[in-house]
C-alpha cells in the first residue's frame, strides 16, 4: 500500500530520513532504518576549504562548525514544551552550525551501511559553488561505494543565494545512479528554476531546504542571544506553508519526481505534501524533536489514513489538490460571504469585536452580533473566536 518509486528507486514507504546530523554517522543511519524510514539521506560530505572559515582540516576536530550547544527547539516564546510538539503544534528548530563528513568518511559509511540495511541509501554532497569538477570528485566515489543515488546539497560551499543548474549537469556526466537536486532557497521561483534543473539532467528534486536563512532569537530577561551569540539556520513546521506552495508550483511545472521536505512532523504533514504532488517526503526537524521513531509513526499514520479513505496506492491521492489551486489574481472578487454567530456556542469574550476591522461585530447581552451591511466577509473573526462560534455563510443575492 505504501510502496512508491521515484527515479527508479523503490521505497517501502514514502518517508525518508533527510540529510542532517541525525544521519551523520553509522549508528544514526541504522536507527533511521530501524525507526521505519523508507530511505536514508546521509549528512553532506564536503571537501574542506582553507578560504572558508571553519571548513579547513584541524586535527582532532570535525569539518564544519561545531559550537556547543548548537541546537535549540522553541515552540512557546523563548522556551520549549515537548508536549505541544507531540500534539502537532508548530515549533522551530534552530541550528547555529553543524559538522560535515569528509568524503572518505562518507564512502566508508556507505560501504558499511549497505551491508546492514535493506532500504535505499542516498549520499548527500556539497561542493564549491564555483568548482564543477569538485562536485564530480565528490559524486564518483559515492557511486563506487554503493550509494543508490546522490543528492546535491545546492546551497553549496560557501552558502550562495541562487541555484546553479550547471552543478547538476556536471555530476550527471560522471555518475549513472539517479541525481537528486536539493533546492535550498524559498525565494527563488520554482516555475523558472524547476525546468532549468530538469533540463540539466536531474532525476528528481527535493524542495525546499531552509538552512540558508540567517535567523536569531533573544532572551530579553538575560538579555542574551539564544543559544549562541550568532545567527542560526532555522527549520521546522513554521516553514511548511512556504515549502508546500513551492512544491505545488514545482509539481505543476516539471515532469520529474519531487520530494517534499521541511516541517513534516505528523502523517498529516506528509499527506499534505503528497496531495500537492510530492512522491515522497523527507523528515528532519521531527527527528530532533521526537527521535527516530517518528519516521515509522508518520508511515503508519499515512497507511491508516489510506485505509480510512479507501486508497489503495499513494498515487490515488498524489497531486489531488493541484487542480484546486488557482493564482491569487484569479480568485473571485468580493464573494457574498458574511460572518454569522451561533449563539449557543458564543461565550461573549469579545475577541471578534476587537479584531473586526469594519466595526461589523458588537456585543449585545454578552453575545456577539454581526451587522451584515458592515461585514466585509474577510473571515478573520472565524479564526480568532476561541469557541468556534463564528462561521462564514454565503448570502442570497
Q: For the chain, what is the mean pLDDT?
A: 95
Note whether 54 and 134 are same-domain residues. Answer: yes
Q: Is 71 exposed, middle or buried (0-12, 13-18, 19+ CB in 10 A)?
A: middle
224: domain CATH number? 3.20.20.70
Note whether 134 and 181 are same-domain residues. Answer: yes
Note whether 106 and 223 are same-domain residues. Answer: yes
321, 342, 322: which is closest to 385 by C-alpha?
342
Note whether 344 and 308 are same-domain residues. Answer: no
Grid cell of 200 as nine digits: 540539466
385: domain CATH number? 3.30.70.20
Residue-wise pLDDT for 289-335, tens only, equals 999 999 999 999 999 999 999 999 999 999 999 999 999 999 887 77
User: How many other CB atoms sit within 10 Å of the CB of residue 104?
Assistant: 10
Does the pTM of the predicted model rise above 0.75? yes
Note whether 307 and 352 are same-domain residues. Answer: no
Residue 137 has pLDDT above 90, yes or no: yes
List all residues 6 or more positions away from 238 whose beta carbon is below 8 Å from its beta carbon. Answer: 90, 91, 92, 263
Note whether 261 and 345 are same-domain residues. Answer: no
Give all strands (DSSP E) within 96-228, no chain letters. Answer: 99-100, 121-125, 149-153, 179-182, 204-207, 217-219, 224-226
Note whether 317 and 269 are same-domain residues. Answer: yes
Note whether 11 and 110 are same-domain residues. Answer: yes
Quote the pLDDT of residue 145: 98
Note whether 357 and 292 are same-domain residues. Answer: no
**How far is Cα 383 from Cα 35, in angstroms, rounded to an integer?**
37
The whole domain housing 358 covers: 332-394
Q: Is 105 exposed, middle or buried (0-12, 13-18, 19+ CB in 10 A)?
A: middle
Q: For the CA atoms of 101, 104, 105, 110, what is the dihedral angle to 10 degrees?
A: 110
Q: What is the mean pLDDT of residues 189-198?
A: 98
Note whether 225 and 357 are same-domain residues. Answer: no
Residue-wise pLDDT for 101-127, tens only, equals 999 999 999 999 999 999 999 999 999
Note whether 285 and 353 are same-domain residues. Answer: no
Residue 397 has pLDDT above 70, yes or no: no
Amino acid at each position: 500500500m505504501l510502496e512508491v518509486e521515484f527515479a527508479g528507486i523503490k521505497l517501502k514507504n514514502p518517508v525518508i530520513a533527510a540529510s542532517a546530523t541525525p544521519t551523520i554517522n553509522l549508528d544514526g543511519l541504522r536507527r533511521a532504518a530501524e525507526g521505519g524510514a523508507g530511505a536514508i539521506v546521509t549528512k553532506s560530505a564536503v571537501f574542506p576549504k582553507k578560504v572558508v572559515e571553519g571548513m579547513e582540516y584541524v586535527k582532532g576536530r570535525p569539518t564544519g562548525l561545531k559550537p556547543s550547544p548548537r541546537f535549540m527547539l522553541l515552540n512557546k516564546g523563548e522556551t520549549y514544551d515537548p508536549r505541544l510538539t507531540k500534539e502537532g503544534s508548530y515549533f522551530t528548530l534552530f541550528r547555529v552550525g553543524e559538522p560535515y563528513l569528509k568524503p572518505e568518511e562518507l564512502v566508508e559509511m556507505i560501504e558499511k551501511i549497505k551491508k546492514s540495511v535493506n532500504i535505499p541509501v542516498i549520499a548527500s554532497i556539497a561542493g564549491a559553488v564555483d568548482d564543477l569538477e569538485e562536485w564530480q570528485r565528490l559524486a564518483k566515489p559515492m557511486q563506487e561505494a554503493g550509494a543508490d543515488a546522490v543528492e546535491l546539497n545546492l546551497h553549496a560551499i560557501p552558502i550562495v543565494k541562487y541555484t546553479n543548474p550547471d552543478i547538476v549537469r556536471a555530476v550527471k556526466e560522471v555518475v549513472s545512479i539517479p541525481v537528486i537536486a536539493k533546492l535550498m532557497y524559498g525565494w527563488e521561483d520554482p516555475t523558472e528554476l524547476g525546468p532549468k534543473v530538469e533540463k540539466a539532467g536531474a532525476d528528481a528534486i527535493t524542495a525546499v531546504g531552509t538552512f540558508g536563512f540567517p535567523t536569531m532569537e533573544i532572551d530579553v530577561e538575560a538579555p542574551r542571544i539564544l543559544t549562541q551569540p550568532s545567527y542560526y539556520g532555522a527549520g521546522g513546521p513554521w516553514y511548511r506553508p512556504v515549502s508546500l506552495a513551492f512544491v505545488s508550483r514545482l509539481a505543476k511545472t516539471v515532469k520529474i519526481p519531487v520530494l517534499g521536505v521541511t516541517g513534516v512532523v505528523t502523517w498529516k504533514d506528509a499527506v499534505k505534501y503528497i496531495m500537492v504532488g510530492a512522491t515522497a517526503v523527507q523528515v528532519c526537524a521531527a527527528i530532533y524533536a521526537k527521535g527516530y521513531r517518528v519516521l515509522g509513526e508518520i508511515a503508519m499514520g499515512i497507511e491508516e489514513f489510506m485505509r480510512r479513505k479507501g486508497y489503495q496506492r499513494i498515487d490515488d491521492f498524489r497531486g489531488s489538490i493541484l487542480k484546486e489551486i488557482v493564482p491569487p489574481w484569479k480568485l473571485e472578487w468580493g464573494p457574498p460571504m458574511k460572518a454569522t454567530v451561533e449563539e449557543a456556542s458564543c461565550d461573549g469574550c469579545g475577541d471578534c469585536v476587537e479584531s473586526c476591522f469594519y466595526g461589523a461585530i458588537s456585543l449585545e447581552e454578552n453575545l456577539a452580533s454581526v451587522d451584515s451591511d458592515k461585514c466585509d466577509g474577510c473571515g478573520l473573526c472565524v479564526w480568532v473566536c476561541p469557541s468556534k462560534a463564528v462561521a462564514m455563510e454565503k448570502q442570497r443575492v
